[in-house]
């Protein structure tokens, strides 16, 4: 159990800066998810905490002690890799025991800790097998077992579920969450999947091009996204962004529609509306020329264009709506409290 803090952490490869200063204090036992598109620097950040990449400037501290210059093994961290990185010639037992063997722990202790981890992960029947004789999910568990037996201060996960099929991913996601709760180990988890981020995180770091766009609890980020990027990255399908003109308590869209909002909007703004917050309303301000609709069962995604413009817009409606049953122009309204207003210049959320 440990705290982890990053202070002004930057990383440059040659002249190119790829991480532009990240600050966060992680509390004991907290589960932090770093989420962002590929190339945003999230893996680099994780690898800097692991000690696999050097830190160009700033400080990484575990339990208050600076670890920038320490080798990975001296940081008391454990890492789960994207492709599991199991030693192919070693049995499951040896894979999990390798770190402890190097640390010269007594044989009895190693056996006890590995058996305990195997029990926890339901790997007991497979201890003698080689990694290639295991399924993807089992390999994933071995990789986690290898992390657990070291009893580290911090768990680091580098997109651990991206190689699993969709069903297994959901299952392993729950297992990781339950396991982390049970062990109470401070964790840093990198993913590009916003669903994983939403479901796993105590707090998430939304990263874009080396910047931490927003750090906060998943629902806070969902309800009050700090930037257009965070707004569009979190939530699926992603938020509709409609340019308009601020008119105090409303936003006037390009086609003249006046959408009431709860924020104070002045000047050029971007109106953000989540598809699930568009409500069917014959009197609504937002009129869509309906196009394709995607029935998913519990809900229907209606794709369309804002009337009189070329702006694509998606509405997520509960229940089944057949394409043939939708009018050519469908009007929606949005509850003022659920509309988001961003500055059109810098993409930041407007206060108030």
Partner 1 sequence: MAAGGHSGMVERRGASLWLTHAGLILGVLVIVFPIWLAFVASTVTQAEIVRPPMPLLPGDQFLENYRKALVSGINAPVATMLLNSAVMALGIAFGKIAISLLSAFAIVYFRFPGRRVFFWLIFLTLMLPVEVRIVPTYEVVARFGMLNSHAGLILPLIASATATFLFRQFFMTVPDELVEAARVDGARPMRFFLDILLPMSRTNIAALFVILFIYGWNQYLWPLLITTDPQMNTIVMGIKQMFPSGDDWADWPVIMATSILAMLPPVLVVIFMQKLFIRGLVESEK
Chain residues binding partner 1 by CB under 8 A are 50-52, 71-73, 77-79, 81-89, 98-99, 102-103, 132, 146, 150
146-161 in b/e form (b: 16+ CB < 10 A) is bbbbbebbbbbbbbbb
Measure the CA angle with vertex 246, ends 241 and 252; round to 5°: 70
Nearer to partner 1 by C-beta: 132 or 322? 132
**Nearer residue to partner 1 within complex by CB, 79 or 259:** 79
Q: Rounded to 5, what percent of the chain is helix, strand, coil?
A: 30, 35, 35
What are the two backbone dihedrals, phi and then psi, of residue 177, each rounded to the nearest 5 degrees?
-60, -50
* Least separation in angstroms between CB 84 and partner 1: 8
**Cβ closest to partner 1, residue 150 vs residue 331:** 150
> Quick one: 150 or 274, whose CB is closer to partner 1?
150
DSSP letter at 130?
A: -
Both tokens of residue 171?
């299952």
Residue 82 or 309 with smaller CB distance to partner 1: 82
CA dist 226 and 213 (Å) reads 7
Cβ 208 vs Cβ 38: under 8 Å: no
Q: At what angle are helices 107-120 and 92-102 packed, to 10 degrees?
A: 130
Distance of closest approach, residue 80 Cβ to partner 1, in angstroms: 9
Residue that is written with structure tokens 């994780």 in the block:
46
Which lies closer to partner 1 via its Cβ, residue 71 or residue 283? 71
CB of 155 to partner 1, least distance (A): 11
Shortest spacing between CB 136 and partner 1, in angstroms: 13
SS3 of residue 3 by DSSP: coil
Q: Please state the closest distance from residue 79 (CB atom) to partner 1, in A.
A: 5
From the CB of 52, what's the least distance to partner 1, in Å? 5
Minimum Å gap between C-beta 141 and partner 1 is 15
Distances (CA, A) of 315 to 6, 136, 224, 332: 39, 36, 19, 9
CA-based torsion, 226, 230, 232, 236: positive or negative: negative
Main-chain dihedrals φ then ψ at residue 17, nearest 5 degrees? -90, 125
**Residue 165 CB, nearest approach to partner 1 (Å):** 19
Quote the least distance from Cβ 147 to partner 1, whole Å.
9
Which one, 31 or 84, has the nearer CB to partner 1? 84
Contact status, residue 85 vs residue 144, Cβ threshold 8 Å:
no
Nearer to partner 1, 183 or 299 (CB): 183
Beta carbon of residue 102, minimum distance to partner 1 (angstroms, whole number): 4
Residue 85 burial (CB count, 10 A):
15
Q: How, if at all, do strands 203-208 and 31-35 pair?
A: parallel
Q: Contact 32/203 with Cβ under 8 angstroms?
A: yes
* Nearest to partner 1 of 11, 146 (CB atom): 146
- Taking the C-alpha atoms of residue 337 and residue 318, their distance in angstroms, rounded to an integer, is 20
CB atoms within 10 A of CB 64: 9
């Amino acid at each position: 159990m440990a705290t982890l803090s990053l202070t002004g952490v930057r990383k440059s490869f040659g002249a190119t800066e790829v991480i532009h200063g990240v600050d966060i204090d992680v509390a004991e036992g907290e589960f932090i998810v770093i989420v962002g598109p590929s190339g945003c620097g999230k893996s680099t950040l994780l690898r800097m905490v692991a000690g696999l990449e050097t830190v160009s400037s700033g400080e990484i501290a575990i339990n208050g002690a600076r670890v920038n210059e320490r080798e990975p093994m001296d940081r008391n961290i454990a890492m789960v890799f994207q492709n599991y990185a199991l030693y192919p010639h070693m049995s499951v037992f040896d894979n999990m025991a390798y770190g402890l063997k190097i640390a010269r722990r007594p044989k009895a202790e190693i056996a006890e800790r590995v058996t305990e981890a195997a029990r926890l992960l339901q790997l007991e029947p497979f201890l003698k097998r080689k990694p290639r004789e295991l399924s993807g999910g089992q390999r994933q568990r071995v990789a986690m077992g290898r992390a657990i037996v070291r009893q580290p201060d911090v768990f680091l996960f580098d997109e651990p579920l991206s190689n699993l099929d969709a069903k297994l991913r959901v299952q392993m996601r729950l297992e990781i969450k339950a396991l982390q709760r049970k062990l109470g180990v401070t964790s840093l988890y990198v993913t590009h999947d916003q669903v994983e981020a939403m479901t796993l995180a105590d707090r998430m770091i939304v990263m874009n091009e080396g910047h931490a766009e927003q750090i906060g609890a998943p629902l806070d980020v969902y309800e009050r996204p700090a930037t257009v990027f965070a707004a569009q990255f979190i939530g699926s399908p992603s938020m509709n962004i409609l340019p308009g003109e601020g008119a105090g308590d409303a936003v006037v869209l390009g086609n003249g529609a006046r959408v009431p909002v709860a924020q104070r909007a002045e000047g050029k703004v971007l109106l953000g509306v989540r598809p699930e917050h568009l409500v069917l309303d014959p009197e609504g301000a937002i009129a869509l020329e309906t196009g394709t609709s995607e029935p998913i069962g519990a809900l229907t995604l209606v794709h369309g264009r804002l009337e009189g413009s070329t702006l694509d817009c998606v509405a997520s409606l509960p229940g089944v709506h057949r394409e043939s049953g939708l009018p050519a122009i469908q009007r929606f309204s949005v509850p003022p409290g659920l509309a988001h207003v961003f500055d059109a210049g810098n993409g930041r959320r407007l206060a108030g």
